[in-house]
Structure 1
Amino acid sequence: MPMLDMPIEELKEYMGINPCPEDFDEYWARALKELETVDPSVEYIPSNFKVPYADCFDMYFTGVRGARVHAKCLKPKNVQKKHPAIIMFHGYRGNSGDWVEKLPYVAMGFTVVAMDCRGQGGLSEDVGNNVGTTYGGHIIRGLEGSPDDLMFRHIFLDTAELAKIVMNMEDVDANRVGVTGYSQGGALTIACAALEPRIKKIAPVYPFLSDYKRVWQMDLAKDAYEELNYYFRFFDPLHEKEDQVFTKLGYIDVKNLAKYIKSDVLFTATLLDNICPPSTQFAIYNRLTSTKKLRVYNDFGHENLPRTNDDIFKYMSSL
């Protein structure tokens, strides 16, 4: 079998090497308290995209620090009782995608909500002294200041806030909500379920934002992780702050959040992934303590995976 990383036997035991800050639990408890003070001021704007069996809306809510966050929201028509919902998160620098991609779930009677991450390729704001997109650099955004100002802290909190909004919808059964996404979307799936433990099912695919130090050791701080390389080259060329940097990144390392998850998990990993290395994926999976199932693509990297969307659809259809 081709091998980019560790042998599969070692991957199944690997727990990660990036540090977890000593006050990690207090950090996220404090973050969730901040989120509780936010008035989401949810707004629904009817979309120009029309289909006979769904109502489609551009949805906006206010996240921490005042950003207006956008999501596509699709609701099935003529459903008389409370129904399940699925939340979708996109890859790094991307957006919530096309309306039509969500319709199979709506046809099954699901509400579907797909979020644009603040400042990336969609309509959500990055309010760090500017309005609109900032596109990239979000891993290291805030790294020089307080860990409470890390950009991905805010994005992780957006996922939890969105989940609460969906669960509070009058027509949604709060006990039947699932979350899924690829790459960054997989990481946000983990973060969402960790910070909103009522989520019933999750299906992350080759998740991003995990075990940063391992990515660095493998010389894969490029592509999606390239800003780690930029940071050291421009701001710490002698690596005098290396331990401090990786420890601070530990606050937004999703492998450290995995312990909070209570939902059922369908986890998809790829063994030739040179964007999100296999060991960084397994560092998340091996820390999950809830009911979980692993799907492994031995011959695939960070790419389209045959049958994955079908399997996730079948998995979520039983919500």
Structure 2
Amino acid sequence: MPRFDLPLTELQQFSPDIREPADFDAFWGATIAEARGWDAAPRIVRVDTPFTLVDVFDVTFPGFAGDPVKAWLTVPAGATGSLPAIVEYQGYGGGRGLPGDRLGWAAAGYAHLSMDTRGQGSMWGSGGETPDPHGAGPAASGFLTRGIDDPAGYYYRRVFTDAVRAVDAARSLPQIDADRVSVTGTSQGGGIAIAAAALSAGLVAVMPDVPFLCHFERAVGFTDADPYQEVVRYLSVHRGADERVFETLSYFDGANMAKRADAAALYSVALMDTVCPPSTVFAAYNRHPAAKQIEVYTHNGHEGGQAYQWDAQARFLAPLV
């Protein structure tokens, strides 16, 4: 795939007008306050694994509407507390997988909380275990149009709330220093991380890798790749619903979330990425008000930097914690 988006020099200055509802902050303030009303402590159970250099715990915490959300906590073996922590969110269709699926952060001396994504976990990887018990109206296949008639019932309202509650849960765990928590994720996980950083005060860092869920109105009309094409398919059937759909999506747009994040940021973007086009990533990155960096992979698609990006994240984070 050749480069298809704006030149890098233009991307670095890309600052489009983004639809933003007047009650954005009130909507999210009420949503998170309601979720925090379910104040049950996370349940944490150590699990047996073949790994001798890490300890793994099965964590269940209350998410949106108090629904139980699963996560794996992985820490260096024998760790007793005060560790810096990474909360990680999953790519589209994936789940938390098996205990020990992701060992890099624990091997680097961090506590790593890997959150399941409700209703997902059956498209790739090793599976997920968190159901989404809330219904929705008519939708195209996938997750992007579930409940899209109304922001209150939209699927990602529940997911973003779970993400904030994962940060809350991490801060309450005995192995973790509550003042040294960061968030990360790739693709969908990157978009969720941006939302978590916007809606959780005092994070050390946010590290969105080739993030999804940014500048919806450009993405939907710009790329012919899924998952954004789910919205196209929905609108091709629900003719004339554009205004309602994009109004709902504006409450969840990473570009609107990014401007509210106070954590230091390390983004990544791939200039041949048709899944999350570069201009949609820069639309969020350029709005981020705190100290920030972006890794640019000039000849990569949606795979981005992979291990190179993890190494960049570890080096970025080390002096901050």
Tell me the TM-score normalised to structure 2 length.
0.90
Residue 135 of structure 1: CA displacement?
A: 12
Query: Which amino acid in the other structure matches residue 191 of structure 1?
Result: A
Deviation readout 1:106-162 (Å, 9 max, x if unpaired): 2333211101100001111111259xxx99632211112x32111101100111111
Partners of 2:40 and 2:55 lie apart in 1 by 21
Which protein, 1 or 2, shows the higher relative CO under an 8 Å CA cutoff with sep ≥ 6?
Answer: 1
Matched residue type, 1:310: D
Matched, 1:169 2:173: yes
Aligned: 1:57 with 2:57 = yes
SS of aligned partner of 1:249: helix
**What pairs with 1:80-229 in structure 2 (closer than 5 Å)?**
82-121=82-121, 122-129=128-135, 137-144=142-149, 146-218=150-222, 220-229=223-232
d(CA) in 2 for partners of 1:310, 1:190: 20
Match for 1:271: what amino acid? Answer: L
Does the residue aligned with 2:244 lie in a helix, a strand or coil? Answer: helix
Instruction: Summarize deviations over 1:149-198 as a string: whole Å, max 9, x none.
Output: 11101100111111011112223111211211110011111111111121
Asked if 1:286 is matched to 2:286, the reply is yes
Q: 1:83 to 1:174 in 2, by over 3 A?
A: same
Distance in 2 (alpha carbons) for counterparts of 1:80 and 1:244: 50
State how far apart, in whole Å, the 2-side matches of 1:162 and 1:126 are: 16
SS at match of 1:296: strand
For the aligned residues, what is the CA RMSD? 2.2
CA contact (8 A) 1:215 1:280 kept: yes
Is this contact kept in 2: 1:212–1:253, CA < 8 A? Answer: yes
User: Aligned equivalents of 2:237 and 2:41: distance in 1?
Assistant: 40
Name the aligned partner's letter for residue 225 of structure 1.
Y
> 2:220, 2:312 → 1: CA distance?
32
Aligned to 1:266: 266
Report SS of the residue matched to 2:103. helix
Matched residue count: 311
Select which of 232, 235, 256 maps to 1:232.
235
Check conservation: 2:40, 2:62, Cα contact below 8 A.
Answer: yes
Percent identity of equivalent pairs = 32
Q: Secondary structure at the match of 1:256?
A: helix
Q: Which amino acid aligns with 1:309?
A: W
Shift of 1:231: 1.0
CA distance in 2, matches of 1:245, 1:66: 27
CA drift of 1:74 comes to 1.4
Q: 1:259 to 1:18 in 2, by over 3 A?
A: closer
Give the superposition deviation at 1:24.
1.1
Judge conservation of contact 1:143–1:150 (CA < 8 Å) in 2. Answer: yes
Conservation of the 8 A alpha-carbon contact between 2:60 and 2:70: yes
CA distance in 1, matches of 2:79, 2:131: 33
Q: Deviations over 1:10-60 (max 9, x none)?
A: 212223454111211111111122122123442223323242232212211
Match of 1:316, SS state, is helix
- Ranges in structure 1 where 5+ consecutive residues have no aligned partner: none
Q: Within 2, Cα distance between the matches of 1:30 and 1:264? A: 26
Q: Is the 8 A contact 2:62 2:165 kept in 1?
A: no
Q: How big is each residue's C-alpha offset from its partner over 1:47-86, in whole Å with a ceiling of 9 and x where there is no partner?
A: 2324223221221122122422111111323335511111
1:92-119 C-alpha deviation (Å, 9 max, x unpaired): 0111245444323223332111011000
Alpha-carbon distance, 1:258 to partner? 0.8
8 Å CA contact retained: 2:74, 2:100: no
Q: Which residue of 2 aligns with 1:314?
A: 315
**What's the CA shift string for 1:192-240, capped at 9, x where partnerless?**
111112110121111000111101221x25312121022112222xxx2
- Structure 2: which 5+ runs fail to align? 122-127
Q: In the TM superposition, what is the alpha-carbon distance from 1:315 to its structure 2 partner?
A: 2.3
